[in-house]
Structure 1
């Protein structure tokens, strides 16, 4: 009989890669993944109702003794593309490197997000085999295109809305158990996202008459665009301490040395100092105290000796809780300060609602963390920096959280969406225990 690690490896070897251009997707890989789940977790598939949504997403329902406050446990099956030449080990071989506590599983999706999906299935399979029946319904919701459009998650949400489902708790991927992320904090912290930033793309466009590159004008479209990008860089969004960040600092204050203990614990008074210190603490800390904006895609002339008639830049903006799409557009226009540079919103979503860090749902998560990941781990609210499918689920519940139950090092977190993605085998196995505890308390 296969072990949990061997089942994990088998599912990691299925290349469920998503692309923004869906014509590039090998849909058969998702069919193979579904078939493998059914074969590897037969008890769960026999007991839970399950259906395919939006072509390739999966929705399971485990009927409990009641259904008025169900739990929804989320994940996504798709992974981002790879550049195989950058990897030390083949990205879809699920190679185990090292032994014992040092054993690592190298594979695309090991953390993001098959690590969670497979751990959830392991937890459910074990509980079903033991004859457990949840007190409340439990739904498992696995999207197929979280990394791109998120259409699968939206279709699942629409299905649940039509069925009148109102959840007591929703949990998705998000923060992890980490060390040393917050200045002065040495205890391990379980960073549970209670909100996530909004996401928008703004297009900056400069236009010109064009012509031959041998006779450029004083301010060609490319130069005007470059100036606009640099003006936006030199005028960042204002610093601010959002409520989830205040709560995080207050939670961690007792574990910080002085003077940080006072700074964190009296954030209402020390906020001006705190935000400047956090902004100087690196990209992650800067991103929790301000809306961020960065130029990503650039386009110009079709040839090296041709003046661009249109020069365009995509600006990726992540909205801090409390900011809005409208306020961000106003800031960009003011920073660019050039009426000849067009500012257009390509797509946008507002910051998510903020879930409470008190109450039954929060206590369930914190209790599961302490019981399975270590009593020394401090569970704290956290502002999720990246976007996830959970933002679509806020219409189903006031208690939507983002947490992946794996203790990850800085170098492991740096592999997300990059090469050499990996997770320590014993860390992954402990994550199964978290999902068991959370579901058992449903």
Structure 2
């Protein structure tokens, strides 16, 4: 009964949720310029290249993309030392007065593919036409992640035009294969590490200025990733003798595998409400409806109850409090009348901060509990360290930039559910954050990697304001960088 009552209250309050305004109106010309530049970049279909050396066509696309960046942001590229990392990554250094405690801003050039028959998938505009209509820029990459790249470059270009120069060294890294594990980012981090560069702060993609993201919260929610989940890919395999489909065995390889997959979904990972999630919940508490406010304002004392309630509020919130396992690929017989000699499934696991890949594997083995199912780890990376929040100067700098660009937003930390190039930088920097300063409603967040990806022109303008405020704020430019 104690669980049912708060759950009913939260669901009733959530049903009344409406979208809120996303902040002050940015400079119209600034926003329109960013939109036009983003549209030009969307028209270059820099789809993540397959593993191995770049093909001639992929190399030409990424070369064209770099040329377009140089044409759109001439002052940035004139001021910066530029080098290529990996196959298509771009690493820029804009020298400051001090080399100590540099700042690293990140984004990625590559995008996920779209089907050949994109219209059948439901796209309203061709995904690589960069259409500007209805107050938005439409197309693949507008949110993930060319939009964030554009607003950072627009801000830096405008500041350099105004005669500004950074006090600290400023690095920019634009990955070329983030959507396929980020080999370019790994190479860039290796170069920085060899040169003794230890970024004082790193900012990459991740959270956003989200509406319709939290039950009963009517204000925008600027969620900044202070960490991100680990990522692991597993292959389950079952082998059998095969044969003709007219004489099937009592248990086939696909059937055994199916039992294993059902067991994984029937036995989810245990919940654990991390300190970062507690900080997020307590941060939004003053701004939600009363029934939820009472529950969240003392979230740290109610971890057990929240661990049972939060997973029932939707998949986004559920993923914040546990490791998840998603079944993504299946393979069996090569023909309709042939028994499979081998059936396989690929499982994508996102490992909760506070847990480990080994613990995730142990849970899956126990859930399956069948020695006939072989489990192979294809790749694994542990959850990222937690970056400082609270009264830390870097966290305050991010909050001040959000206030300058989205004054109505509630700024809170969270654990990023997806993976980013930022995870590769964590070993050389003590403060790695994940945040795209773009307003996104629920439909827009769902369109990332799906049809009808788009960004509001006004959000691009606000994003430029965010980066201008961040780069010129006191925390990133103290009189003595080594003292901060």
Q: TM-score range by the shorter chain?
A: over 0.9
* Native 8 Å contact 1:138 1:439 kept in 2: no
Q: 1:91 aligns with which of 124, 127, 131?
A: 127
8 A contact 1:20–1:149 mirrored in 2: no
Aligned-residue offset at 1:21: 4.5
Distance apart, 1:294 and its partner CA: 1.6
Q: Which moved more, 1:358-367 or 1:54-63?
A: 54-63
2:44 maps to 14
Listed as ranges, the matches of 1:17-416 within 5 Å are 17-21=47-51, 26-83=58-115, 84-85=118-119, 86=121, 87-98=123-134, 103-358=135-390, 359-374=392-407, 376-416=408-448
Residue 417 of structure 1: how far off its partner (Å): 0.3
Shift of 1:197: 0.5
Report the 3-state secondary structure (helix = DSSP H, G, I; strand = E; otherwise coil) of the residue aligned with 1:75: strand
RMSD: 1.5
Kindly provide the CA deviation profile for residues 351-392 of structure 1, in whole angstroms up to 9, marking residues without a partner as x.
111111120110110000001222x21110011010000000
Which has the higher mean CA deviation after the structures are superposed, 191-200 or 86-95? 86-95
Deviations 1:116-167 (A, max 9, x none): 1111111111111111111111101100000013001111111110110111
Q: Are 2:34 and 2:460, in contact at CA under 8 Å, matched by a contact in 1?
A: no
Tell me the alpha carbon deviations over residues 9-61 of structure 1, each in whole angstroms, 9 at most, x when there is no partner. Answer: 11111111114455676221100010111111111111111111123111111
State the 1:427 CA deviation. Answer: 1.0
Gap regions ≥5 residues in structure 2: 1-28, 477-484
Aligned length: 437
Paired with 1:427 and 1:268, the residues of 2 have a C-alpha distance of 34
Unaligned regions of 5+ residues in structure 1, if any? Answer: none
Provide the rounded CA distance (Å) in 2 between the counterparts of 1:165 and 1:139. Answer: 10
Q: Partners of 1:159 and 1:348 in 2: how far apart?
A: 23
**Residues 162-205 of structure 1, C-alpha deviation per residue, up to 9 Å, x if partnerless?**
11011111000011011231223222110000010111011111
Distance in 1 of aligned mates of 2:216 and 2:404: 25
1:174–1:402 CA contact under 8 A, matched in 2: yes
Q: Distance in 1 between matches of 2:438 and 2:299?
A: 29
Alignment TM-score, normalising by the size of structure 2 = 0.88
SS at the partner of 1:31?
helix
How far 1:268 moved relative to its partner?
3.0
Please say which of residues 79-88 and 279-288 is displaced more in the overlay. 79-88
Match of 2:377, SS state, is strand
Is the 1:19–1:81 Cα contact (8 Å) retained in structure 2?
A: no
Which whole-Å CA distance do the structure 2 matches of 1:321 and 1:417 have between them?
24
Whole-angstrom CA distance in 1 between matches of 2:280 and 2:424:
24
TM-score (norm 1): 0.96
SS of the residue 2:178 aligns to: coil
CA distance, structure 2, for counterparts of residue 225 and residue 338 of structure 1: 10
Runs of 4 or more, structure 1, over 6 Å off, are none
Alpha carbons of structure 1 residues 407 and 42: separation in structure 2 relative to 1, 3 Å: same
